[in-house]
Each structure stands twice: as C-alpha cells, then as structure tokens.
Amino acid sequence: MYNKVQETVEFLKNKVENRPKIAIILGSGLGDLVDFVENKKIIPYEEIPNFPVSTVKGHAGQLVFGQINGVEVLVMKGRFHYYEGYDMKVVTYPQYVFKAFGIEKMVVSNAAGGINKEFNPGTLMLITDHINSFGTNPLIGKNDEKFGPRFPDLSEAYNKGLIESAKKVANKLGIEYKEGVYAGVTGPSYETGAEIKMFSLVGASAVGMSTVPEVIVANYLGIKVLGISCITNMATGIATKPHSHEEVVHIAKVAGAQFCNWVAETISEIA
C-alpha cells in the first residue's frame, strides 16, 4: 500500500507543478464547482497509476488541479463507492494519496436523502458528525504506522474550526444552511421506511452512500475535514414519490450555485 501510494504521488508530482494543501471531493451533481477552478490541469483517473475508476453516472472521474480565488486546490470530480464492488482500501485510496501529496484539509460533499422533516430538497447541511452503518471500517486489517495510529480518535471527525469558518462565510453570503448528522450506508438500494425511522430515532438528519469511509481515513491520516451535504430528496417514508438517481443529480445541480459559491468562499477563509 505504502509503495503504491508513493508511485501515485510521484506520477502526480511529475504531471503538475501545483502543491495544494486543500482537497475537495465533489458528490453527485455537484461537479459545477470545477468551473470555479482557474488554470486547470485535468488528469483522468484511468491515467493515474493504482487509481481506481468511478463507474457511477454523474461522477466524471477526474483529478483537477488549479486555483479557487487564488488558493491552490486539488479537486476530485467523482469518488469511489463501496457498492461499486471496491474494497474499502480502494474506496479510500485517494485519501492516502492526498496525505502523501501534502494535503492538510479536505472538503467533502455529497448528495443525501433528508431524514429531518424540517429539511427540503435543495437544503445544504453542514455535517457535524456521522454514523457508520457500512458494517465495516476502512481501517480493518494490519496497520502501517507510517500512515497513522492503530486506534485513531474520531471525537472531532468534522473539524470544529472549519465548521465555524463555513458558518461565517454562509452568514456573510446570506446562504441558508442546516446542521446535522450524516448516516452512511452501503447502498446501492435506497433505504426502507423502517431503516429511515431507525436512523431518525438515533439522531441522523440525512443519509447517503459515501463520505463516512473517506472521513474515517482522513482523520486517521491527520487531515482536517469539512463536510457538506446537499439534500436532494426526502428519504423513504417521508418522500411522496419513488427515488431515482436522475432526480438526485437534477436537484444537486439546482442547488449547485449556492453550494459552489459557499465552498469557493470558504476555501479562501480556511486557506
């Protein structure tokens, strides 16, 4: 694993002169943030040694280097999911590459189903914590101390300082947002009404099929995390119509303008 990561990083360092400290992961339908990146250098995943390839519609499968408001960034346009059949080490491989490349902060975004009945499709939610319902953990297996400790702390999985910075920016821009707990599930089937009721009872505000493994590994590696969910649909038992991925992507794109402005200004604030 360590040697694979070094090989990937060497390839990237030979491809780009950029040396960003901030990485951004874009969820389904939220790829328009790439339009905010100046002096772009785009590298398709399939060209990168040891990098997996995204198979999900709405996930382009590109690493984008450049600047947002003059701040160097590395953007993942398209992530990897456990439901695609990838091992958890593969799902979270980019975080290991981030750390070895010099990334110190990670902004992670996703499209999620709303559990909190005060939410509506299009709501932007700051993630304050998460519930791991994947039934596994990306750190299971022999630990390599070169990466991180055997038992990493997750008491502040989503960095409080970054959350406060995002709130400050949202208030300045007049962007409405909510705060809540994100429940991560394997997918690819949407949740049942009974499952959503269970998540509601244990305090989840939104549910989705990504993010949690990435955040666990980022914390393990010492990368500070800011998380934002775009509520693209109300969850089963709350929604009045069946779910579809097409609708998820559509609503994310509709809410995308505010999301992009918020993240772009937040990048300036946390840099």
Choosing from 50, 83, 247, 269, the catalytic residue is: 83
Binding-site residues sit at 28, 59, 79-81, 111, 191, 210, 233
Binding-site residues for a purine D-ribonucleoside sit at 191, 233
Active site residue 111: yes
Give every CB contact of residue 37 below 8 A, 6+ residues apart in sequence.
64, 66, 67, 68, 73, 75
Choosing from 88, 218, 233, 265, the catalytic residue is: 233
Binding-site residues for phosphate sit at 28, 59, 79-81, 111, 210
Active site residue 210: yes
Active site residue 125: no
Active site residue 233: yes
The two structure tokens encoding residue 193:
């009404």
Choosing from 54, 110, 205, 210, the catalytic residue is: 210
Choosing from 72, 76, 84, 190, the catalytic residue is: 84
Choosing from 23, 88, 111, 170, the catalytic residue is: 111
Active site residue 28: yes
**Chain centroid to CA 89: how far?**
16
The reply to whether omega before 188 is within 30° of 0 (cis) is yes
Q: Which residues are catalytic?
A: 28, 59, 81, 83-84, 111, 209-210, 233, 245
